[in-house]
């Protein structure tokens, strides 16, 4: 018999995990959240999105836990009315990060409070991101004027190898001054060093009084791997890369094939098997 403690909290990524590729929350995903509640398992969401970009989930999911935005850079109440905590980048560090990303050839976005700042309205992925978060960016000539209290800086490029290379270069250059991780293959998110999904999971565990051993987490990107190592139960999406899948205890179907709902039913609520699968093994 598996003697692991019962799961009391599920922390889920949003894009590539909870919603489909076209940003839909399916009926089956909604129903699985209701089953979680009936089993006394809470749901919490974490994302690189700004808080306003998660407002559309409040109604369908009736969230009661703090919403974690910017990969852990900001914690807000479920109604988005109150900031519980935020972790801003120091202005001098933010300036250097913007320069480094721009010099590498990436487009740069800045998130501060409830605002999203860009330099070019026609830049790659701006329209896509606006559809995702459901609010418009503010176009400015110089990002230097909006870096005070910046919570997240994003480097954007369709050159995926460049984005991956910049991730390593920023980590090497800035060390413990920042957290740098890809939230999508074309997005490199740079936040305060304590604004990452591992630190966010620790914060949520303390805030809700749920031991880490009783938390399950699910995601699809390298930024999610940080929480995989802390949670009592970790699940990677079928659309995750093999490297991400190898870091999780279980792998579910893709986000376009009801992977979230399947994971809830099989791994969170379902009876646990005596033997755990090999990391990266599809169940």
From residue 73, alpha-carbon distances to 84, 144, 198, 201, 216 in Å are 11, 20, 12, 12, 21
How far apart, in whole angstroms, are the C-alpha atoms of residue 279 and residue 268? 17
**Chain position carrying tokens 């994003």:** 154
173 φ, ψ to 5°? -75, -45
pLDDT digits (tens, 9 = 90+) for 189-236: 999 999 999 999 999 999 999 999 999 999 999 889 999 999 999 999
| pLDDT value at residue 206 | 97
Identify the sign of the CA torsion 98, 101, 107, 109.
Answer: negative
| pLDDT value at residue 280 | 45
Parse the chain into domains and list their residue ranges: 9-86+196-268, 91-191
**Chain position carrying tokens 């093994």:** 281
| pLDDT value at residue 184 | 85
For the purposes of burial, counting CB atoms within 10 Å of the CB of 270, is it exposed (0-12), middle (13-18) or buried (19 or more)?
exposed
60 φ, ψ to 5°? -60, -35
Low-confidence ranges of the chain (pLDDT < 70): 1-4, 271-283
Average pLDDT, the chain: 92
* This prediction's pTM: 0.85
CA atoms lying within 13 Å on the CB side of residue 50: 23
pLDDT digits (tens, 9 = 90+) for 39-58: 999 999 999 899 999 999 98
| pLDDT value at residue 243 | 96
How far apart, in whole angstroms, are the C-alpha atoms of residue 170 and residue 5? 38
CATH architecture, range 9-86+196-268 = 3-Layer(aba) Sandwich (3.40)
Three-state secondary-structure class, residue 258:
coil
CATH hierarchy code of domain 91-191: 3.30.1240.10
Share of the chain above pLDDT 90, in %: 86
């Amino acid at each position: 018999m598996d003697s692991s403690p019962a799961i009391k909290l599920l922390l889920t990524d949003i894009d590539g995990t909870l919603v489909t590729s076209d940003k839909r929350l399916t009926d089956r995903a909604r129903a699985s959240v209701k089953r979680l509640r009936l089993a006394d398992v809470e749901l919490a969401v974490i994302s690189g999105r700004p808080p306003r970009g998660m407002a559309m989930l409040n109604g369908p999911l009736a969230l009661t836990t703090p919403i974690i935005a910017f990969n852990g850079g900001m914690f807000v109440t479920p109604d988005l009315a109150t900031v519980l905590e935020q972790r801003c980048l120091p202005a001098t560090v933010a300036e250097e990060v913007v320069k480094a990303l721009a010099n590498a050839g990436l487009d740069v976005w800045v998130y501060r409070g409830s605002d999203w700042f860009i330099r070019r309205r026609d830049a790659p992925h701006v329209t896509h991101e606006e559809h995702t978060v459901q609010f418009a960016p503010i176009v400015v000539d110089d990002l230097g004027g909006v870096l005070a209290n910046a919570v997240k800086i994003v480097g954007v490029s369709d050159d995926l190898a460049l984005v991956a290379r910049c991730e390593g270069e920023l980590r090497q250059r800035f060390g413990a001054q920042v957290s740098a991780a890809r939230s999508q293959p074309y997005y490199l998110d740079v936040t305060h060093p304590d604004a990452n999904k591992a630190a966010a999971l620790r914060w949520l565990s303390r805030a809700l009084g749920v031991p880490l051993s009783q938390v399950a987490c699910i995601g699809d990107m390298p930024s999610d791997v940080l929480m995989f190592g802390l949670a009592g139960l970790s699940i990677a999406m079928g659309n995750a890369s093999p490297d991400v899948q190898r870091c999780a205890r279980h792998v579910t179907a893709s986000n376009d094939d009801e992977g979230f709902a399947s994971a809830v039913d099989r791994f969170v609520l379902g009876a646990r098997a005596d033997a755990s699968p090999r990391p990266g093994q599809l169940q």
